[in-house]
Amino acid sequence: MKNFTPTHSLLISGILCSTFGHNFTVTSKITNHINEYKCKKCGKEVTDGFSGNIELLTFKTKKVNACLASFFQKKMHRVSTH
């Protein structure tokens, strides 16, 4: 007999993250190639880096992404209205 309660699975999820890796979902789309992600289980935030690596989402990277997003949107807008 399995006896799983929500409290139990929450406790286990923290261990699962360090064992099997995080369960990231896209929280915001910066460009076609760069997204921000958040782990559904532990709440860790990361972003795609310029080199294609996953980087930890810090205040600095958030600022860079915000600049990049507004630049990208302007560019997309100009292309679509042309």
Does 16 sit near Zn ion (CB under 5 A)? Answer: no
Stretch that binds Zn ion, among 2-10, 39-47, 53-61, 67-75 (CB under 5 A): 39-47
Stretch that binds Zn ion, among 26-34, 41-49, 52-60, 65-73 (CB under 5 A): 41-49
Among 30, 36, 38, 41, binds Zn ion (CB under 5 A): 41
Q: What character string, x for contact with Zn ion (CB under 5 A) and - otherwise, covers 44-63?
A: x-------------------
User: How open is the CA angle 60-63-65, to the nearest 5 degrees?
Assistant: 110
